[in-house]
Amino acid sequence: MKKSIWIGLGFLLYGALISWYLFMGADTSIPTQYEGTEADPSVFMSERQLELSHDFSRIKQWLYFLSVPFEWVIYLVVLGFGLSKWFRTRAMEVTRFSIIHNLIYVVLLSLIAFIMSLPIDYYSYTVSLDYQISIQPFSDWMRDKIISFWINTLFLFVIVQTLYWLMNKSEKRWWLYGWLLSVPFTLFIYFIQPIWIDPLYNDFYRLEDKVLEDKILALADRADISADRVYEVNMSEKTNALNAYVNGIGSNLRIVLWDTTLQKLSDEEVLFVMAHEMGHFVKHHLYWNLIGSIVTSFLGLWIGSRVFNWMIRKWGHHWGIEKPTDIASLPALLLVFSVLSFMASPVENAISRNAEHSADEYAIEMTEDSKAAVGSFQQLAVSGLSEVHPPLLVKLFLYGHPTMLERITFLDQWEQKTTKNEKIEEEEK
The pLDDT tens digits of the residues spanning 31-41 come to: 999 999 999 99
Determine the distance from the C-alpha atom of residue 70 to the mean position of all C-alpha atoms in its chain, rounded to a whole number: 18
pLDDT of residue 345: 95
Q: How much is the pLDDT for 230? A: 85
- pLDDT at residue 2 in the model: 67
Q: If pLDDT is split at 50, 70 and 90, which confidence band does 95 have? A: confident
Please give the average per-residue pLDDT across 20-37, as a whole number: 92
Grade residue 247 by pLDDT with cuts at 50, 70 and 90: confident
| Among the listed residues 238, 157, 167, the one whose alpha carbon sits nearest the alpha carbon of residue 201 | 238
Q: Verify whether residue 213 is a known catalytic residue.
A: no
Q: How many CA atoms lie within 13 A of 398 on its CB side?
A: 19
Average pLDDT (286-294) is: 88
All structural domains of the chain with their residue ranges? 2-145+308-428
What's the pLDDT at 290?
Answer: 86
Q: For 209-225, what is each residue's pLDDT tens digit?
A: 999 999 998 998 888 88
Which percentage of the chain shows pLDDT scores above 90? 71
Q: Indicate which residue of 38, 71, 277, 406 is catalytic.
A: 277
Overall average pLDDT of the 124-132 stretch: 95
- Amino acid 402 reads P
Residue 250 — pLDDT band, cuts 50, 70, 90? low
Q: How confident is the model at residue 354 (pLDDT cuts 50, 70, 90)?
A: very high
At residue 192, the pLDDT reads: 78
User: In this predicted structure, what is the pLDDT of residue 150?
Assistant: 95
Average pLDDT over residues 109-129: 96
